[in-house]
Amino acid sequence: MLLGIQAEISVIMLDLNMILVMAQGLNLIFGWDLFTCIVLTATGAVFQQLLALLLWFHGLTDISKEHLMHLQWSLFGQ
């Protein structure tokens, strides 16, 4: 059980690191406020996975069912 908790914390920290680094990149490139960049990056990360789910549902992409389940799990933090 302890190993599972450590794995979940590791995944959360990795996702947080990805969002913060991308937001800092937007801040440096465009000079926008850092909070705005964080909101845009987090929103983009969620919508990217929702778009993949929508495309798969309508049969417009050839991603596998296993890949889709991975996207759903990463979207909802499970």
What are the tens digits of pLDDT across the range 49-68? 788 778 877 887 777 777 76
pLDDT beyond 70 at 75: no
* pLDDT, position 78: 47
- 32 token code pair: 């926008």
Spatial separation of the C-alpha atoms in residues 63 and 78, rounded to whole Å: 20
Spatial separation of the C-alpha atoms in residues 7 and 24, rounded to whole Å: 26
Domain boundaries, given as residue ranges, for the chain: 2-76
